[in-house]
């Protein structure tokens, strides 16, 4: 079945149909075995069916151009210009068209350049899945999956396609992104009745859902836009999810629409009542409306983000989406895992501590055998956890590998965070079955028949030293049986495996920097409370309050909300605990970041506003993260937060300057229209003024930001912007009216000279006010602007003053101004900036703290999840087809790879997409 972009999922999709079939029939119909496809066949299917993606992140020039052209005011202005051209005012119409084209072109160039930066950024991201190819496990790109691939699923994985499950071991999937249900769904391999709803497809793991616990294996039955998740994601806009920053931009735009609509209508009516030419009045009103609209705001934001991503890249920070930089700036609470973030992350196996009667070699051998991961051709585990990797990489393990050749693993009970252990059954060289259990010492020891006192003392000493410890135990088992949780009892303790993961030398300083940025840091770890407390002590957090997972289980959400505020360390917590902590903190307001590097951090990374990981993290953690620290330096996170806040601060500068001065200009135009027998300024001059002003503001992303502006998160406050506009707009208008008085009363200006004088004065005041509004400090003395901003602002003012003396003056309707006028303008600009400075101090003293609205989440997590199923190549638009509604075989329909396209065709046999 294929659905059109934007269509609702059609009942009877491939996952639904496959879930109703026995697994053997699904494999037969896909012409694949349980050992997966060959690499050659996978390549052929990929070529035929295209990538496993729901949208393309290619930068599209036409879409960026449409963003520049979609303003209805701009369309009305161009329409009016065309009308004026045909009624005889051709020169003005041509000038308006040229200026609009330059303005659109300027915005297009800058925004498209930022889109290309985002494309390059996205192309660096790799999401992988473990599949069986040529009968052995290997990692491939998620977008390279094809129908028929056999995929391995482990804790924290995002299911990479719609899978018909072939084997499960305690597998549960969180499907809230698809069904809205918060509770995970238990999975098995049994067929379900035909037509079963998505929420009840226990025999399938669906694309975009998260493995909540356990493990499994499944065969791909649908990829890309044909998967259930893909149908929904493909119907959304190709843009990324809206952040709080983008929601603020949209609300701000609506504010301008209301203001522009009211004032433009008033100005047009006034001019018509005063019997001014209808076309001129319409063009003037529309030009004023376009003038108040900060047309280059998207370009300013995009340029800021692109420049920010380049700066962060130089600091070895990779953001998966440009808007992640803004998200970082909003963070005020950071939950961080201990391992790999506060500690060095390079876990080293130190020693085996045997109990009496057992050797260190035996403890090590049992620890190597007790793993739930598969082993590749080199004898290395594929996709293992960091502790297993450290154990297998140790010199002591290398000496033991030869002794493992006679042992055979016959069953696995995967690790889960309720039991906190993994168990396997193996047969030794004599053919006897043995159950081996490895996991958290507290969990393993309570299942052992006897624990010697010296072992308990040794365990306490290791915890006190901050070392990580895993206990290993065993007992005889029945031959040919798979282990179950009920079998984990009456164990014989073999000993302890001790690992070293010391704190990073620079972690304490990084925590201080984050604290200076107003970010509260809390540690969330699965480690023993004593180990976590030792790390906190080493990092200067000696008085940190500690809660354990057991404590959390005894609290409802209301009590936990209160407890989170006074707790610094959460120890022995499960992935579900971590995600719950993050979700509850998000409900209290403020943006929450989670920093982790392990498989058990994936759920919390998905739940946070910003997921952060490190380059040395597991693939699952890096896949779930929005931001990746390419170097093991926690200080770069503080750089990223400061960068996000710097971008926001610079964007707000443009907004505040544009709205206040443009509002003032519109107010001035409305007032001038009441007493002037001519238009205060020609429409082409208004647009030229706006173009020059906006050009000067493109340097704002380079500007310096005061230290106090990055000390705490800043957020959109439309009420604040409205108050600022109402306060500072009239100040701008006051000096406009002074200019009018000077031009008419002192220089006795005619219409052309009046137009020229107001053009020069308004351009100078609204451009130079940037130096006052860009900071709350005294400009130049206590806060210096960047050199590019200074040069562009002064250059634009100089150009505006020089235009009346150039050959373009007659074309633009300008006239030479008397020398005395420039002296008057200079004096007015100085007085204006001084008055703005005083008003600024009064305004900020009475403005109060900005409000913090929290947008509705909407499709936030769905779009964020969809970002991983993205490709640079252009994707075809899937088409709805009645012939596809019965897809996925059943009732005699075949999934043959060679059959023609028919009703009931398989994902392998249906018509391949073009392009």
β-sheet bridge partners, residue 164: 204, 219
> Which pLDDT score, from 0 to 100, does residue 488 have?
92
Single out the residue of 346, 264, 265 nearest to residue 663, CA to CA. Answer: 264
DSSP per-residue string spanning 807-862: TTHHHHT--PPPHHHHHHHHHHHHHHHHHHHHHHHHHHHHH-SPP------TTHHH
- Cα 665 from Cα 264, distance rounded (Å): 12
Single out the residue of 633, 598, 786, 765 nearest to residue 699, CA to CA. Answer: 786
For the chain, which residues score pLDDT lower than 50?
1-12, 236-242, 853-859, 877-915
**Spatial contact of 755 and 810, defined as CB atoms under 8 Å apart:** no
Q: Is 200 among the catalytic positions?
A: no
**Spatial contact of 104 and 67, defined as CB atoms under 8 Å apart:** no
> Which pLDDT score, from 0 to 100, does residue 543 have?
67
**Spatial contact of 472 and 514, defined as CB atoms under 8 Å apart:** no
Sheet with 569-571, side-by-side order of all strands: 317-319, 627-629, 610-614, 591-595, 331-336, 520-524, 569-571, 546-548
- Cα 253 from Cα 274, distance rounded (Å): 31
**Spatial contact of 762 and 689, defined as CB atoms under 8 Å apart:** yes
Q: Which residues are within 8 A (CB) of 88 and not within 5 positions of it... i.e. 6 or more apart?
A: none
> Which pLDDT score, from 0 to 100, does residue 298 have?
63
Catalytic residue among 149, 157, 162, 337: 337
Helix (H, G, I), strand (E, B) or coil at 360: helix
Task: Compute φ and ψ for 164, nearest 5 degrees.
Answer: -90, 120
DSSP symbol at 10: P
> Which pLDDT score, from 0 to 100, does residue 87 have?
61
> Which pLDDT score, from 0 to 100, does residue 72 have?
59
> Which pLDDT score, from 0 to 100, does residue 865 have?
63
Assigned token pair, 117: 């930066």
Burial class (CB in 10 A: 0-12, 13-18, 19+), 707: exposed
Q: 731-768, pLDDT tens digit by residue?
A: 989 999 999 999 999 999 999 999 999 999 999 998 99
β-sheet bridge partners, residue 424: 412, 436
The alpha carbon of residue 324 and the mean position of all alpha carbons in its chain are separated, in whole angstroms, by 5
**Spatial contact of 749 and 757, defined as CB atoms under 8 Å apart:** yes
- Cα 481 from Cα 845, distance rounded (Å): 75
- Cα 751 from Cα 757, distance rounded (Å): 10
Q: Residue 262 to residues 87, 663, 668, 766: CA-CA distances in angstroms?
A: 28, 11, 14, 22
Assigned token pair, 868: 């991983």
Single out the residue of 393, 339, 415, 404 nearest to residue 369, CA to CA. Answer: 404
- Cα 193 from Cα 328, distance rounded (Å): 46
- Cα 75 from Cα 95, distance rounded (Å): 16
Contacts made by residues 847-850, CB under 8 angstroms, sequence distance 24+? 847/720, 847/723, 850/714, 850/715, 850/717, 850/720
DSSP symbol at 382: S
Task: Compute φ and ψ for 54, nearest 5 degrees.
Answer: -110, -15
The three-point CA angle 220-221-227 to 5° equals: 100
β-sheet bridge partners, residue 219: 150, 164
Q: Helix 683-697 and helix 635-675: axis angle, to 10°?
A: 160
- Cα 68 from Cα 82, distance rounded (Å): 19
DSSP per-residue string spanning 453-495: HHHHHHHHHHHHTT-EEEEEEEEE--TT----GGG--SBEEEE
> Which pLDDT score, from 0 to 100, does residue 744 have?
92
Q: How many CB atoms lie within 10 A of CB 408?
A: 14
Indicate the helix (H) or strand (E) that contains 137: strand 136-141
Single out the residue of 505, 561, 516 nearest to residue 538, CA to CA. Answer: 505
């Amino acid at each position: 079945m294929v659905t059109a972009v934007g269509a609702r999922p059609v009942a009877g999709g491939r996952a639904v149909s496959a879930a109703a079939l026995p697994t053997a029939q699904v494999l037969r119909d896909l012409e694949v075995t349980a050992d997966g496809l060959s690499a050659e066949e996978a390549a052929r299917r990929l070529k035929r069916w295209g990538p496993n993606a729901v949208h393309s992140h290619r930068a599209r020039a036409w879409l960026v151009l449409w963003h520049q052209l979609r303003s209805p005011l701009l369309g009305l202005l161009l329409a009016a210009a065309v009308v004026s051209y045909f009624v005889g005012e051709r020169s003005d119409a041509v000038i308006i068209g040229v200026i609009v084209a330059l303005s659109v072109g300027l915005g297009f160039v800058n925004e498209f350049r930022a889109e290309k930066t985002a494309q390059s950024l996205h192309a660096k991201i790799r999401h992988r899945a473990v599949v069986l190819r040529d009968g052995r496990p290997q990692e491939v790109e998620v977008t390279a999956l094809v129908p028929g691939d056999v995929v391995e699923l482990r804790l924290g994985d995002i299911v990479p396609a719609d899978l018909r499950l072939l084997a499960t071991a305690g597998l549960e999937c969180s499907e809230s992104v698809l069904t809205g249900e918060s509770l995970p769904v238990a999975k098995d391999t049994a067929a379900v009745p035909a037509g079963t709803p998505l929420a009840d497809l226990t025999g399938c793991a669906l694309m975009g859902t998260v493995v909540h616990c356990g493990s499994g294996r499944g065969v791909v039955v649908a990829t890309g836009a044909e998967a259930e998740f893909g149908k929904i994601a493909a119907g959304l806009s190709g843009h990324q999810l809206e952040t709080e920053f983008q929601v603020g931009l949209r609300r701000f735009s609506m504010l301008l629409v209301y203001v522009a609509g009211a004032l433009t209508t008033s100005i047009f009516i006034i001019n018509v009542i005063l019997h001014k030419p209808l076309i001129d009045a319409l063009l003037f009103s529309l030009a004023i409306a376009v003038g108040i609209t900060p047309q280059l705001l998207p370009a300013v934001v995009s340029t800021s983000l692109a420049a920010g991503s380049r700066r962060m890249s130089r600091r070895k920070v990779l953001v998966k989406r440009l808007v992640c930089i803004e998200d970082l700036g909003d963070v005020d609470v950071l939950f961080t895992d201990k391992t790999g973030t506060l500690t060095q992350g390079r876990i080293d196996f130190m020693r085996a501590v045997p109990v009496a009667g057992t050797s260190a070699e035996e403890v090590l051998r049992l620890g190597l055998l007790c793993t739930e991961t598969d082993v590749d051709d080199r004898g290395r585990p594929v996709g293992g956890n960091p502790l297993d990797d450290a154990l297998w990489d140790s010199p002591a393990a290398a000496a033991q590998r030869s002794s493992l050749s006679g042992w055979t693993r016959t069953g696995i009970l995967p690790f889960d965070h309720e039991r906190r252990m993994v168990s396997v059954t193996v047969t030794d060289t004599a053919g006897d079955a043995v159950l081996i259990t490895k996991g958290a010492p507290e969990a393993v020891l309570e299942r052992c028949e006897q624990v010697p006192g010296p072992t308990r003392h040794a365990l306490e000493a290791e915890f006190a030293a901050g070392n990580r410890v895993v206990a290993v135990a065993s007992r005889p088992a029945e031959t040919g049986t798979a282990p179950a949780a009920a079998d984990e009892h009456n164990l014989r303790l073999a000993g302890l495996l001790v690992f070293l993961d010391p704190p990073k030398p620079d972690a304490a300083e990084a925590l201080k920097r984050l604290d200076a940025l107003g970010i509260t840091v809390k540690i969330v770890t699965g480690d023993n409370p004593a180990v976590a407390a030792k790390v906190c002590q080493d990092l200067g957090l000696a008085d940190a309050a500690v809660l354990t997972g057991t404590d959390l289980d005894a609290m409802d959400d209301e009590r936990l909300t209160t407890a989170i505020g006074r707790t610094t360390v959460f120890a022995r917590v499960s992935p579900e605990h971590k995600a719950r902590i993050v979700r509850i903190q998000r409900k209290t307001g403020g943006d929450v970041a989670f920093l982790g590097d392990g498989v058990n951090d994936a759920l919390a990374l998905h739940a946070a506003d910003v997921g952060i990981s490190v380059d040395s993290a597991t693939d699952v953690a890096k896949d779930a993260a929005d931001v990746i620290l390419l170097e093991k330096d926690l200080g770069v996170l503080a750089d990223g937060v400061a960068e996000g806040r710097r971008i926001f601060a610079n964007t707000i500068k443009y907004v505040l300057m544009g709205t206040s001065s443009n509002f003032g200009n519109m107010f001035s135009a409305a007032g001038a229209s009441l007493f002037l027998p001519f238009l205060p300024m020609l429409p082409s001059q208004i647009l030229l003024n706006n173009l020059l002003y906006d050009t000067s503001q493109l340097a704002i992303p380079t500007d310096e930001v005061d230290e106090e502006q990055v000390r705490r998160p800043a957020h959109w406050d439309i009420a604040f912007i409205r108050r600022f506009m109402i306060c500072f707009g009239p100040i701008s208008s006051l000096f406009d009216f002074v200019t009018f008085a000077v031009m008419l009363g002192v220089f006795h200006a005619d219409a052309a000279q009046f137009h020229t004088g107001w053009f020069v004065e308004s351009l100078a005041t609204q451009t130079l006010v940037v130096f006052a509004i860009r900071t709350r400090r005294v400009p130049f003395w206590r806060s210096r602007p960047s050199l590019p901003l200074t040069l562009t602002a002064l250059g634009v003012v100089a150009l505006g003053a020089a235009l009346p003396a150039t050959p373009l003056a007659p074309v633009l309707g300008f006239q030479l101004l008397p020398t005395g006028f420039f002296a008057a303008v200079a004096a007015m600009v100085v007085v204006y900036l001084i008055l703005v400075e005083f008003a600024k101090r009064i305004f900020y003293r009475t403005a109060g703290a900005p409000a913090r609205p929290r947008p509705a989440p909407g499709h936030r997590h769905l779009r964020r999840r969809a970002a991983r199923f993205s490709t640079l190549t252009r994707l075809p638009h899937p088409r709805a087809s009645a012939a596809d509604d019965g897809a996925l075989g059943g009732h005699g329909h075949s999934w043959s790879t060679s059959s023609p396209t028919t009703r009931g065709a398989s994902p392998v046999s249906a018509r391949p997409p073009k392009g």
